[in-house]
Chain A
Amino acid sequence: MNDIIIAGIGGQGNILLSRVVCQLFMNRGFDVKSAENIGMSQRGGSVVSYVRVGDDVGPIVPDGRADILIGLEISEAARSINKVNKNSLIVLNDRFVRPKNSDLKKQRILKFFEENFPKLYIVNAHTIAFELNIPKAENITMLTLICKKGILPFSKEEILKALKQVLSPRMYEMNKILVEKIYERY
């Protein structure tokens, strides 16, 4: 069983990313289930998606059970830590958007992750998406980087195939260029 959590803030493409991840697993022959919160959360709120590989389960990952946590934003990743355990794989986007009226510090959160999780990776999807001039594509940038570094076991061809299945043709063309560029340059 693979339980994956994707945490971020509204507008980062969290839900699309979870759809692509579902498609990746489905293309390998697995049944998948996933859940996401939409609605109010779109208005700048927290967005969490759960992807579960396997069919005979509910859509929400129970506490302490996630195998992988993908944080598109650092403080949102922190919010989901009750879902992971010491063996979980944690991948963080180097992006911090302070929740208003809080004194949360990026460094403090990162330190916590470093101290508690041996399998921690930090990728700079935010900067790279910005450099490639597609600031709204942090999600696919993140996925591509994770796969390229071998953190998730999917090939470039598999990513492109899944994107083609999930995205509209126009969006696919844009993201295809993005994926190619990342594989070339980073």
Chain B
Amino acid sequence: MKKVLMGNEAVAYSLFINGVNVAVGYPGTPSTEVIETLKNFQDDDFYVEWSTNEKVALEIAAGASLSGARTVATMKQVGLNVAADPLLSLSVVGVEGGLLVFVADDPGPHSSQTEQDTRNFARFCNLPVFDPSSPKEAFELIKPAFEISEKYKLPVLFRMTTRVCHSNQSIEFEFKREKRKIKGFEKKPDWVILPALSYKKHMELEQKLQDMKKELSAYNKVEGRGKIGIVSGGISYFYVKEAIKGFEDLFSILKITVVHPLDEGLVLEFAKDKQMLIFIEELDPVLEEEVKLILFENGKFIPTYGKRNGYVQFAGELDVDKVRDIFHKIFSDRRFLAKNTFTDVLQTPKRQAQLCAGCPHRSSFLIVKYAAKGQDVIFTGDIGCYTLGFAKPISTTDTCLCMGASITMAQGIKISDCSKKVIAFIGDSTFFHSGITGLVNSYYNRHNITICILDNLTTGMTGFQPHPGTGKKIYGKEGRKVSIESLVKGIGIEKILVIDPYLSFAENVDKVRKFLNDEELGVIVFRRECANLKSRESYFKINQNCSKCKVCLEVTGCPAIDEDENGKLFIDSTLCNGCGLCENFCRYSAIEKVMVK
């Protein structure tokens, strides 16, 4: 059949067709759709789950692989940091059934804290890495990636970037699953990593990388015969192809799909008759460094243009126009300049991302903000929709580092600046991901902070995945539910408050103020489902009593409230979710509820 598939969907289809037995991951843009797609497939020898975090996911995959199953663990680039511990050890221990670590990098970045480059991670862990340029190529490379993993008994990194993950392409394929027999776990001393064994295995690992080079080189290819050589890979390869349209004769392209380990042969052959080499890649200069090293080791000198000498940007995404600009810089040839007539004439300002209309987090933040008024407070934040709590007018997030760090950073701040009150915010999914250990630490070490768990009963940011607190498993099937309150109590923390942020604002502020009054370690759970999970029962509108004081808009910043061209305030009835928050701030009874029939 022929189907338009998103890059991540293409990976999921190919994984399933190629007999993946166990698929695990933690949601993170731009990687989420691999598991989201896989969950639609069923087979008696196929298992899929959302795990509590990436380390958990990879360790499950490792266990399954040692039993002979084909497995994949999916995550985004920052998730790989969380899974780094098992991954580095696994590169030494090795695998049995094919194990792919699917990692989505986010140049730009579009929705991440970092722009890190997983190709570099592959060099660091000494593992092979595939870097497809399109959904179709990703689809085709899953099979060899599994085969390499099984042949050399090593995990294989499958790295894509946002523009490959989230682009769509028509792909023709036969939807037929390859069945494989799982042979089961076999006891072997190899599976127990001890220092002495580790040394021996490290030597083996280096040897394996040497051995697989030639084989992997088959996935890299040369196009064209021009004297100007371009080395590229991933999505940048297509930018290059489009940028040289009309000048094809001048150029040839070395497209590198497997950058580590990189075989010398093809590189030297390509470089032989070139006047210069241009390196076009996003993020780190990985192709540039690998290729230059090979040239140096073989006594070749060719002028090069890339990141190292300032021709290509280190940060952010490339595109066809940026690549043409680079050519223009190198050749001083105006024909490469982009031809757009209309740059920024209207100067449309950026539309800031914001918490949805009716998002329960907006109320929760404001409740805490009002309750803490007059006190010297620091708010630590975390990763999720609620990171947007830093935006005006909510402004209740002073730090954001990585998953789970709100709770632990709060403790660090409290230790060094104990005169201040420190309040940490963390979402439910993030709490299970990596908040728990920090909470245990705060109890054990007597750090007196307040922790607000913003429980919206889902993983909102990535598209509403379930987690242990929801009690629902990936297919919507019943799992077991972990109660946040019991967990907190189980640690030994007694001071707990549960609040519904939609209920009376004044009462809630009162409760929280009392809670904050004493300096004990305490946890407040704000519980109300994400505004996108339920259809609304009511919406609000602004009537003629409105004095145009704009307080509702200025305090809440709710995207459903706006001012028209005559300064008249209105609530967009299609956006409003009926949370009732704005009503609390109107002194003129101008905001009224409308029930949905």
* Choice from B4, B242, B343, B354 contacting A62 with Cβ under 8 Å: B242
Q: Are B2 and A63 in contact (CB under 8 A)?
A: no
Q: Are B167 and A33 in contact (CB under 8 A)?
A: yes
Q: Are A101 and B338 in contact (CB under 8 A)?
A: no
B377 near A: Cβ within 8 Å?
A: no
Complex Cα spacing A78 to B343, Å? 10
* Choice from A37, A45, A78 contacting B166 with Cβ under 8 Å: A37
CB distance from A81 to the nearest CB of B (A): 4
Q: Are A32 and B170 in contact (CB under 8 A)?
A: yes
* Choice from B29, B111, B167 contacting A35 with Cβ under 8 Å: B167
CB distance from B195 to the nearest CB of A (A): 42
A58 near B: Cβ within 8 Å?
A: yes
A86 near B: Cβ within 8 Å?
A: yes
Q: Are A63 and B166 in contact (CB under 8 A)?
A: no
Q: Are A116 and B342 in contact (CB under 8 A)?
A: yes
Q: Which of B117-125, B345-353, B506-514 contacts A (4 or more CB under 8 A)?
A: B345-353
B181 near A: Cβ within 8 Å?
A: no
Complex Cα spacing A105 to B2, Å? 44
Q: Which of A19-27, A143-151, A152-160, A178-186 contacts B (4 or more CB under 8 A)?
A: A19-27
Complex Cα spacing A43 to B340, Å? 30
Name which residue of chain A comes closest to B239, CB basis: A58
Complex Cα spacing A178 to B350, Å? 33
A100 near B: Cβ within 8 Å?
A: yes
CB distance from A60 to the nearest CB of B (A): 5
Residue numbers in B under 8 Å from A39 (CB-CB): 29-30, 110-111
CB distance from B192 to the nearest CB of A (A): 41
Name which residue of chain B comes closest to A85, CB basis: B341
Provide the main secondary structure of the chain B interface: loop
* Choice from B30, B134, B238, B355 contacting A38 with Cβ under 8 Å: B30
Q: Are A32 and B352 in contact (CB under 8 A)?
A: no
B241 near A: Cβ within 8 Å?
A: yes
Q: Are A34 and B110 in contact (CB under 8 A)?
A: no
Complex Cα spacing A24 to B446, Å? 63
Q: Are B354 and A101 in contact (CB under 8 A)?
A: no
Provide the main secondary structure of the chain A interface: mixed
Residue numbers in B under 8 Å from A64 (CB-CB): 338-342
Q: Are B562 and A19 in contact (CB under 8 A)?
A: no
Complex Cα spacing A39 to B354, Å? 12
Complex Cα spacing A11 to B575, Å? 9
Give the total of B residues in contact with A, Cβ under 8 Å: 49
Among A32, A58, A99: residue with most chain B CB under 10 A: A58
Interface residue ranges of B352-387 to A (CB < 8 Å): 352-356, 385
Total A-B pairs, Cβ < 8 A: 154
Q: Are A26 and B238 in contact (CB under 8 A)?
A: no
Name which residue of chain A comes closest to B553, CB basis: A100
Interface residue ranges of A22-61 to B (CB < 8 Å): 22-23, 26, 30-41, 43-46, 55-60
Q: Are A62 and B321 in contact (CB under 8 A)?
A: yes
Q: Are B168 and A60 in contact (CB under 8 A)?
A: no
CB within 8 Å for A100 and B167 given contacts A81-B342, A82-B340, A135-B574: no
Complex Cα spacing A99 to B242, Å? 33
Residue numbers in A under 8 Å from B255 (CB-CB): none
Q: Are B353 and A41 in contact (CB under 8 A)?
A: yes
CB within 8 Å for A44 and B163 given contacts A19-B4, A39-B30, A82-B342: no
Q: Are A33 and B344 in contact (CB under 8 A)?
A: no
CB within 8 Å for A60 and B348 given contacts A40-B110, A100-B562, A116-B342: no
Q: Are A31 and B170 in contact (CB under 8 A)?
A: yes
Q: Are B349 and A102 in contact (CB under 8 A)?
A: yes
Name which residue of chain B comes closest to A51, CB basis: B168
Q: Are A44 and B346 in contact (CB under 8 A)?
A: no
Q: Are B163 and A60 in contact (CB under 8 A)?
A: yes
CB distance from B573 to the nearest CB of A (A): 9
Residue numbers in B under 8 Å from A23 (CB-CB): 4
B388 near A: Cβ within 8 Å?
A: yes
Q: Are B169 and A33 in contact (CB under 8 A)?
A: yes
Q: CB-defined interface of A68-102 with B at 8 Å, one 1/0 digit per residue?
A: 00000001101101111110000000000111111
CB distance from A22 to the nearest CB of B (A): 5
CB within 8 Å for A9 and B351 given contacts A57-B241, A63-B321: yes
CB distance from A50 to the nearest CB of B (A): 8
Q: What 16 new A-B contacts, CB under 8 Å, besides A33-B169, A57-B242?
A: A23-B4, A35-B163, A36-B166, A36-B167, A38-B29, A39-B29, A39-B30, A57-B241, A58-B163, A58-B242, A76-B348, A79-B346, A82-B344, A99-B351, A100-B352, A112-B345
Q: Report B's interface with A, CB cutoff 8 A.
A: 2, 4, 29-30, 110-111, 134, 136, 162-163, 166-170, 235, 238-239, 241-242, 319-321, 338-346, 348-356, 385, 388, 559, 562, 565, 572, 574-575
* 22 A-B contact pairs sorted by A residue (CB < 8 Å): A18-B168, A22-B170, A23-B4, A26-B170, A30-B170, A33-B168, A34-B169, A38-B30, A40-B110, A43-B355, A44-B351, A58-B319, A58-B320, A60-B320, A62-B321, A64-B341, A78-B346, A83-B340, A97-B562, A99-B349, A100-B351, A100-B352
